[in-house]
Amino acid sequence: MSDIGKKLKDARNEKHYTLDDLQQITKIQKRYLIAIEENDFDALPGNFYVRAFIRQYADTVGVKSDDILSELDEITGEKQATNQVAEPEVTSRTQAIRQQGGDVEKNNEILEKIMHYLPTIIIVAVVAVILGSIYFVSSGNRKQAEQASSTPSVSVTTDESTSEKKSSSQKVKKASSSEEASTKGATNQKITHESTSGSNFTYALTGASKDVKLKFSSNGSSWSSVSVNGTATWQGTLEDGASKTVTIPEGTKSFMINLGNSKATTLTINGKKFNFLKDNSSLTVRRITVNIAE
């Protein structure tokens, strides 16, 4: 019989994670992690959470979650087969109750599938809206161009032409000044390593703009989180090729980044790559504190 809990526990020990470390990374309560390692799946709050917690546990310790879930399905099927052989013939009412339970499990599986594909559905919907907007704007521009071509030409006096040229020149100068200021701000940004304690790293961020934007990109499955003033602003698992942008609120003096798989994570701050791996590239899990200096 497959021992899912032992496989996951062995993988956790190979990563040198304690249960407290895993609880911090996955945000799954420690008692549920212990139940998974002991194969006590009945202690979890439902079939949906059993699959979700096992998937997140496996991804975090580097085990293929699809293989683990397949083993879970086999175990579940063996238990059902044993119960059917051991139990006597039941009344129609009992059968109806079991059928209802099966319907609930199917509903949970359907819900899990919907949650799995929900990001893709949202992206498709957003792309469709963008394409629709582009089509309507293009159609409107064509109509305006047709109306303009059918309108008789109107002569313009020398004074009006000179005024328009001056206005256009002023707009170009303002746009140029704005671009120079933006480029200067990005050039002046600097990230300096201050200290290291185990897997905890502290950096100073200077010369950054008021709105600090963090972009996480994943080359494989990776879990990350961002906290401001002790409150989680975002946390989640990014699959291979996915990315996430998080904006730090204006006026923030310090923020914290937790990386569950730093080797598979690429991070930029305001479009500039943050090469945190140069400070002990062998670490997988790390906690990064960034202090924003004036």
What pLDDT is attached to residue 273? 94
CB 213 within 8 A of CB 246: yes
**Bigger pLDDT: 49 or 205?**
49
pLDDT digits (tens, 9 = 90+) for 126-179: 878 788 888 877 777 676 656 655 544 444 444 444 445 455 556 545 545 544
Judge whether residue 182 has pLDDT over 60.
Answer: no
How far is residue 112's CA from residue 182's CA, in Å, rounded to a whole number? 44
What pLDDT is attached to residue 258? 84
Q: Which of 28, 52, 54 is closest to 40 using CA atoms?
A: 54
> Cα angle at 57 between 52 and 62, to 5 degrees?
125
Quote the tokens at residue 239.
């699959």
How far is residue 226's CA from residue 54's CA, in Å, rounded to a whole number? 23
Mean pLDDT of 27-47: 93
pLDDT digits (tens, 9 = 90+) for 207-220: 887 778 989 899 98
Average pLDDT over the chain, rounded to whole?
Answer: 79
Judge whether residue 262 has pLDDT over 80.
Answer: yes
The lowest-confidence range among 1-15, 114-128, 147-161, 222-236 is 147-161
Q: Which strand (E) or helix (H) includes residue 61?
A: helix 47-61
| Stated length of the chain | 294
What pLDDT is attached to residue 111? 76
Helix axes 65-86, 47-61, angle to 10 degrees: 140
Q: Domains in the chain, start-ordered, CATH in brackets?
A: 4-86 (1.10.260.40), 188-292 (no CATH)
What pLDDT is attached to residue 121? 83
Mean pLDDT of 3-23: 94
Q: Which of 262, 277, 222 is closest to 244 using CA atoms?
A: 222
